[in-house]
Amino acid sequence: MPFGDAGYERIGRRLALISVAVGTLLAIVKIIVGLLANSTALVSDGFESGADVVSSGIVFLGLVLGSRPPDQNHPYGHGRYETLAGLAVGGLLLLTGVGIFWRSFETLDRSQPPLAFALYPLGVAAVVKVALAVTKKRIGRRIGSSSLEADAWHDITDLLSTVVAFSAIGLELFDPIRFSTADHVGGMVIGLIVVFVAIRLVWNTVAFLTDTMPGHELMEQIRPVALTIPGAMDIEKCYARRTGMKYHVDLHLEVDPELTVRQSHSIAEEVRIAIRGRLSWVADVLVHVEPWPGPKGAAPRLPQRDRVRPREQ
C-alpha cells in the first residue's frame, strides 16, 4: 500500500525509535558477552552499536524538528535541523571510530584468546542490521532524509564491523598461536571502518549546509515543467538549495515584456504551482519575472500540444 510523504516521515521516526531499542539491546549483549569471552573485537563492536543508539536518537530528534511547518522566524521551514542531525551522526561516528581504534591498539600485546561463545551475538546482530539498513535506506531516499540515510550507513558500518569481529575471533579460535593478535587487530580495523564512513557522512552533510546545488539530472527536470505553462518563454537562470529533506528553487522566468504586471505574476504563479506539483523533491519555488529578449509577440518555445495547465497538489 503506497504512502504519501507524511506517511513515510512517520515511518522514518518509527524506524529511528526501533533502532534505539534494538541498538541498546545489541550493545549491552555484545559488551557483556565480549567481556566474559575475553574478546576485544566483540567489545569494540559493542561500543560501535552503542554509538548506534545515540545516533538513532539524534536522527529521531532531527526528523521531529525538521518536519515542523514554516513559521514567521523560519520561512523556509525547519528542515536544517534534520541536516544538522546527519552532521551530528557523522561527528559521533568519527569520535567512536578513533576511540575504538586506540583502545584496540593499546591492548594489542594482551594475548589472552577469546572464547567461542563470543561468535553468537555477532550472528544475530548481522541479520538484524541488514534488515534495518535496507529499510532505512529505502525510506530515507523516499522522503529525502539525509539523517535517516546517514543512520542507514551507520547500520552498514555496524554490519561491516560485525563481519570483521566475527572473522577476527574465528581466526584466533582456529589457530590461537598463529593468529594470537587477530582479535585485537580486528578491533583496530573496526575503528578504521567507522572513521572512514564518518568522514564520508560529514562531507556529504557539509555539502548540504553550504548550499551545494543538486545533481544535473534533477535541475534538468525544472525547465520542461516550467515551459509547459502558456506565456512562459524561457528560463534565464535557475538555482536550488537544500533546506532539510527538499529543495527550494530560485527561478528567473522570461515572459513577454509587453504583458502587464498582473499577467506576468499570473504566469509566474502557474509555473510555481506546476513545479511544486510535479517535482516531489521541490519544497517551494521563488519565481523572478524577467523580460524576454526575443521577437515581440513570438510564441513560447514548446508546441501547443505540450502545454498542460497545472493543478495544485
Domain count, the chain: 2
Most confident of 44-58, 80-94, 249-263, 282-296: 249-263
> Is the predicted pLDDT of residue 14 greater than 60, yes or no?
yes
Confidence check: pLDDT of 290 > 50: yes
Note whether 155 and 32 are same-domain residues: yes
Question: What does the alpha-carbon distance between residue 209 and residue 202 come to, in Å, rounded to a whole number?
Answer: 10
Mean pLDDT of 274-299: 81
Q: Which residues pair with 248 in a beta bridge?
A: 241, 284
Q: Verify that 23 and 163 share a domain, yes or no.
A: yes
Judge if 129 and 230 occupy the same domain: no
Contact 147, 82 (CB under 8 A): yes
Whether 145 maps to a domain, the answer reads yes
**Is it the case that residue 299 has pLDDT exceeding 60?**
no
Mean pLDDT of 121-128: 86
Q: Which helix (H) or strand (E) holds 186?
A: helix 182-209
> What pLDDT does residue 273 have?
93
Query: Do 200 and 226 belong together in one domain?
Result: no
The C-alpha atoms of residue 147 and residue 131 are separated, in whole angstroms, by 18
Find the Cα–Cα–Cα–Cα dihedral 166, 170, 176, 177, rounded to 10°: -90
Do 237 and 205 fall within a single domain? no
3-class DSSP assignment, residue 14? helix
Residue 310 in this model has a pLDDT that exceeds 50: no
Model confidence, pTM: 0.57
What percent of the chain clears pLDDT 90, i.e. is strictly above it? 11
At which of 209, 233, 263 does a domain end? 209
In which band, very low, low, confident or very high, does the pLDDT at 287 lie, cut at 50, 70 and 90? very high
pLDDT, tens digit, 9 for 90 and up, residues 167-219 = 888 888 888 777 877 877 887 887 888 788 788 878 877 777 776 777 788 88
The least confident of 5-9, 81-85, 165-169, 189-193 is 5-9
Q: What percent of the chain has pLDDT over 70?
A: 80
Domain of 273 in residue numbering reads as: 216-306
Query: Which of 157, 177, 209 is the C-terminal boundary of a domain?
Result: 209
Average pLDDT rounded to a whole number, residues 76-88: 73
CATH number at residue 221: 3.30.70.1350
Rounded CA gap, 206 and 195, in Å?
A: 16
Query: Comparing 5 with 19, which gets the higher pLDDT?
Result: 19
Q: How large is the average pLDDT for residues 123-152?
A: 78
311: in domain? no
Do residues 204 and 221 share a domain? no
Domain end, chosen from 139, 174, 209, is at: 209
Is 95 found in the same domain as 238? no
Residue 313 falls inside a structural domain: no
166 or 309: which leads in pLDDT:
166
Whether 18 maps to a domain, the answer reads yes
User: Does residue 37 fall inside a structural domain?
Assistant: yes
* Residue 298: pLDDT over 50: yes
Residues 89 and 187 in one domain: yes
CA 183, 189, 193, 198 torsion: positive or negative?
Answer: positive
The CB-based long-range contact list for 68-77 (8 Å cut-off, 24+ gap) reads 76/243, 76/248, 76/283, 76/284, 77/243, 77/244, 77/283
Question: In DSSP terms, which residues pair with 251 in a beta bridge?
Answer: 238, 287
Tell me, yes or no, whether 264 and 281 share the same domain. yes
Closest CA to 139 of 276, 19, 285: 19
156 pLDDT exceeds 60?
Answer: yes
CATH code of the domain covering residue 25: 1.20.1510.10
Distances (CA, A) of 272 to 2, 233, 303: 26, 15, 20
Q: How many angstroms separate the CA atoms of 25 and 20, rounded?
A: 9
Q: Is the residue at 273 inside a domain?
A: yes
Is 73 among the domain residues?
Answer: yes
User: 183 with 225, same domain?
Assistant: no
**In-domain check, residue 312:** no
169 and 263 both lie in a single domain: no
- 265 and 133, same structural domain? no
DSSP 8-class letter at 147: H
